[in-house]
Amino acid sequence: MEPIRVAIIGGGGGFFGKPHQMAASLDPERRVVAGVLSSDPDRSIQFGEEWGLDHPFATLDDLIGAHGSGTVPLGYAVVAVPNNQHAAVAIPLLRAGIPVLCEKPMADTMGNALAIAKAVVDTGTPLLLAHTYMGHPMVQLARVMVANGVIGKVRAATSFYLQGWLADPIETKPQALGHQQAQGRTTPAISGPTCCGGDIGSHAHIALEMVTGLEVKRVSAMLSSVVEGRTLDDDFRANCLLTDGVPATVGAEQHAIGFANHHGFRIEGSDGTLVFQQEFSEELTWMTRDDTRILRRNHGNIGEMYPEIATLFRLPGGHVEAFLEALGNCHRATADAVRERNGDQPLYPGLMIPGPAAGLRTMAFLAACIESSQKGSVMTALKHPGP
């Protein structure tokens, strides 16, 4: 089978470009061959050569032109630029017929997110969102267990993400570790109207909706900047009402000293509870009235009961799979979207990664939380626009 050829846009000098290259290359069915790794043409070529790309490009126009001419045909492209550039990069790719795996959130503003979604509809070209943690097999297992009624009717849910890397104003300190990342996330013109909510609250929202199978309908939210002098929120809290009035909370903090990437969820049903923490990504806690079990990927007959989940692991039990493998599963889902578009069967039919509809719901969720917070945490209905 010929590998699907992948391009990466952005990320040459930042954190997330290189992990995408590594994650895309975990399986032999994909190969990163091209990229536009910087907005500076010379640096883009330099990064591409340092990465060992077959086809480093100076500009996005050059890459799209090479694809269109058949010189460098691409299966899909990763959009790893800052939030405020997602639309400017994703839309030309989609119009050129190149499927996209876009970093989250979908865009910096609802208007730009709608423009991306419209391009997907108009061109029929697939787009998925790189919500990495949804790629963990145990998260997918939780989603399937809830859908199959294993814990009964969902009664309540909590989804959270705690970090401590913005506990100090490193965005104002050029020599500080993480300065460039912090500057991008805390600057409204780059990140959009929310920092913590868009950066990691979006992960908590996606996990809540995709695992429960329910949608957030109304929110009462409070967005705060607890670090002095910071413009955007570093503390994000939302009480939610889901479909059928199910109560839930979404919480995110980036000032929580001692926490690195403490993301997870608790789904409470009429017959049991599921608990997941991504820092222990190979475990899913399943609690019933009579028992508590720690499900692991090599536990009992999970592979027999849920074969679609078993296919998502790459290594034998006892060999830890975590962040890169989860991101690699986002690439697997994107490659499957390419296969289905070409009329072929997907390799991983049990894998569900967010697409444009979920991305728009997250943008609506963030907008409602901002509005609620500005109005004194009043309960606010989400507005779900379509492309």
- Judge whether 384 lies within some domain: no
- Judge whether 119 lies within some domain: yes
Domain that holds residue 49: 4-132
* Domain end (from 132, 165, 196): 132
Give pLDDT tens digits for 18-77.
Answer: 999 999 999 999 999 999 999 999 999 999 999 999 999 999 999 999 999 999 999 999
Our count of domains for the chain comes to 2
Same domain, 91 and 151: no
Query: What is the rounded (10 degree) CA torsion for 131, 134, 137, 142?
Result: 180
- Judge whether 222 lies within some domain: yes
- Judge whether 221 lies within some domain: yes
Query: How much is the mean pLDDT over the chain?
Result: 95
In the DSSP assignment, the letter for residue 152 is: -
Same domain, 222 and 165: yes
- Judge whether 195 lies within some domain: yes
Higher pLDDT pick, 249 / 385: 249
Give pLDDT tens digits for 84-93.
Answer: 999 999 999 9
Same domain, 108 and 164: no
Residue pair 140/352 in contact (Cβ under 8 Å)? The answer is yes
Same domain, 62 and 147: no
* pTM for this prediction: 0.96
Cα dist. 178→37, 182, 254, 291, 303 in Å? 19, 6, 13, 44, 40
Same domain, 217 and 73: no
CA 200, CA 103: separation in Å to the nearest integer? Answer: 12
What's the CATH code of the domain at 172? 3.30.360.10
CA 350, CA 301: separation in Å to the nearest integer? Answer: 17
Give pLDDT tens digits for 139-184.
Answer: 999 999 999 999 999 999 999 999 999 999 999 999 888 888 899 9
CA 368, CA 361: separation in Å to the nearest integer? Answer: 10
CA 140, CA 301: separation in Å to the nearest integer? Answer: 16
- Is 70 exceeded by the pLDDT of residue 299? no
pLDDT in the model for residue 303: 73
Give pLDDT tens digits for 326-351.
Answer: 999 999 999 999 999 999 999 999 89
